[in-house]
């Protein structure tokens, strides 16, 4: 009876997981088809809808916001690198800190004393609050400076304390914000020399997301979420959002204010643009680069926050687009399908254990193992084909961004990504339950690193 029970549970769980994997695989395949069709269409027209170079940059001050909580180890080097790298005539960098973080304040003040383009802003409440709350403090400081100094701001760019900025990005913002309410550059994680798998799986995911998925979202006219770094919002659009929210453009109760901000701007009629522009003909894109978490606990913590803010609490907060927009609804569902995909993934791994137990027990007692029917075999082969295609597509985008070596590692890193996602889901559920019970959202940030040689790391 025990053997029969194991066989039945293994077969039924296999069927359940296989059906859901088939749905998810077809969902991903549709995105691939749209991307390929778009590339073919561009090739037939002989031109791309995106300009190939930055030219005729209009005047206008770009203000960069950097929210910093316990970033003393990286913020000084990040600011010095940005001051050296930015190629734009009119910009300032506002850095938000907390009164109970003297080390970060000191690191920022040391740079600000030598360059007036750095503005140190110390918030009024001890940290950590949320990143959005810190950004709101920077917004209020900008309003005071505009009134006192009489300058006009074209747009506000967002960066993190560990980012390697691109020399041309402010020029892209200044040009594109003439036509777009918001501009998002690609984010390209740096391969970590001591973390090929954990940090490396971020390289794989962002290589595909920012070269394919966001491109498809934009082509379909769906809401385009922001990455929180490498993006800029036009000053008048932020003012509109602030007026609608009682004076603060960033929602301090959100764990993923960047994701929600892009959808909010789109819902208000603002045009959100993904700018994939090569820094030179045939060269890499103008993009933001940074190290991502290189340990399992740090990656789980970060992805737990993302999952909570986007797929759980974010679903409650943003809902669905008010007007009927099938493409936007589809993309939001893709953002949130992780709430279904992760339990299915857990069941799939459990199924492998069940089949192993079944084969072992049948081998010990000498009975024939169960045989799957033709329908089940066909379903499994379809899933294997979709998984194989998925791995090839990811490897192609990783190859395009990082070269052949990283592309070869992208397949085994899928297992690492699944492992991190499963534990991040458990953490996210705990965070979400605490929020439902009234706990205030807090900035659950990770420790950051900055390369010793940013010029080399940015290549």
What b/e string do you get for 329-366 counting C-beta neighbours within 10 Å, with b at 16 or more?
ebbbebbbbbbebbebbbebeebeebbebbeeebeeee
The CATH code for residues 1-459 is 3.90.550.10
Q: Scanning the structure block, which residue is given the tokens 């918001």?
A: 182
Strand, helix or coil at 91? strand
Strands (DSSP E) contained in 45-181 are 61-67, 91-97, 118-122, 153-159
pTM over 0.85: yes
Tokens of 442: 């807090």
Tens of each residue's pLDDT in the chain, 459 residues? 677 788 888 888 888 889 999 999 999 999 999 999 998 887 766 544 444 445 567 778 999 999 999 999 999 999 999 999 999 989 999 999 999 999 999 999 999 999 999 999 999 999 889 899 999 999 999 999 999 999 999 999 999 999 999 999 999 999 999 999 999 999 999 999 889 999 999 999 999 999 999 999 999 999 899 999 999 999 999 999 999 999 999 998 888 888 889 999 988 999 999 999 998 888 899 999 999 999 999 999 999 888 888 888 777 777 777 677 888 889 988 988 877 777 888 888 888 888 888 888 787 787 877 778 888 899 999 999 999 999 999 999 999 999 999 999 999 999 999 999 888 988 888 888 888 888 877 777 778 888 875 454 444
Cα separations in angstroms, 438 against 33, 257, 309, 431, 441: 43, 19, 15, 11, 9
Task: Answer positive or negative: Cα dihedral of 135, 138, 144, 145.
Answer: negative
| Dist. CA 131–CA 134, nearest whole Å | 5
| Dist. CA 239–CA 45, nearest whole Å | 39
H helix runs in 268-373, sequence order: 296-307, 313-318, 326-336, 338-365
| Dist. CA 378–CA 386, nearest whole Å | 12
The domains of the chain are located at 1-459
Strand, helix or coil at 179? coil
| Dist. CA 238–CA 140, nearest whole Å | 12
Task: Tell me the DSSP string of 197-232.
Answer: THHHHHHHHHHHIIIIIHHHHHHHT------SSSEE
């Amino acid at each position: 009876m025990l053997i029969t029970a194991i066989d039945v549970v293994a077969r039924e769980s296999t069927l359940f997981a296989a059906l859901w994997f088939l749905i998810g695989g077809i969902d991903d395949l549709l995105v691939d088809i749209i991307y390929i069709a778009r590339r073919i269409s561009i090739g037939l027209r002989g031109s791309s809808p995106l300009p190939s170079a930055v030219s005729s940059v209009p005047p206008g001050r770009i203000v960069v916001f950097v929210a910093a909580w316990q970033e003393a180890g990286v913020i000084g080097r990040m600011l010095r690198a940005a001051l050296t790298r930015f190629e734009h005539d009119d910009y300032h960098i506002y850095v938000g800190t907390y009164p109970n973080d003297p080390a970060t304040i000191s690191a920022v003040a040391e740079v600000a004393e030598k360059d007036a383009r750095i503005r140190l802003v110390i918030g009024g409440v001890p940290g950590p609050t949320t990143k959005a709350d810190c950004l709101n403090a920077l917004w209020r400081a900008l309003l005071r400076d505009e009134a006192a100094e009489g300058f006009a701001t074209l747009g506000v760019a967002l960066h993190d304390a560990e980012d390697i900025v691109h020399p041309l990005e402010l020029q892209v913002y200044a040009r594109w914000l003439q036509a777009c309410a918001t501009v998002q550059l690609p984010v390209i994680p740096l391969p970590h020399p001591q973390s090929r798998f954990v940090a490396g799986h971020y390289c794989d995911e962002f290589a595909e997301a920012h070269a394919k998925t966001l491109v498809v979202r934009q082509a379909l006219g769906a809401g385009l979420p922001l990455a929180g770094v490498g993006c800029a919002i036009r000053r008048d659009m932020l003012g509109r959002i602030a007026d609608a929210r009682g004076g603060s453009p960033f929602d301090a109760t959100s764990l993923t204010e960047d994701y929600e901000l892009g959808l909010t701007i789109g819902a208000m009629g603002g045009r959100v643009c993904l700018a994939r522009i090569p820094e030179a003909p045939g060269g890499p894109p103008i993009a933001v680069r940074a190290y991502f978490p290189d340990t399992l606990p740090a990656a789980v913590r970060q992805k737990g926050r993302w999952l909570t803010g986007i797929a759980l609490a974010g679903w409650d907060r943003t809902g669905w687009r008010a007007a009927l927009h099938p493409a936007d609804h589809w993309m939001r569902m893709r953002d949130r399908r992780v709430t279904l995909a992760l339990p299915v993934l857990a069941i799939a791994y459990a199924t492998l254990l069940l089949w192993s137990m079944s084969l072992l027990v049948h081998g010990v007692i000498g009975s024939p193992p169960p045989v799957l029917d033709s329908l089940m075999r066909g379903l499994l082969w379809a899933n294997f084909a979709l998984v194989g295609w998925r791995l090839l597509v990811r490897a192609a985008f990783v190859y395009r961004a990082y070269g052949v070596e990283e592309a070869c590692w992208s397949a085994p890193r899928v297992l690492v990504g699944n492992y991190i996602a499963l534990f991040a889901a458990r953490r996210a559920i705990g965070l979400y339950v605490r929020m439902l019970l009234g706990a205030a959202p807090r900035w659950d940030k990770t420790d950051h690193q900055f390369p010793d040689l940013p010029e080399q790391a940015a290549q």
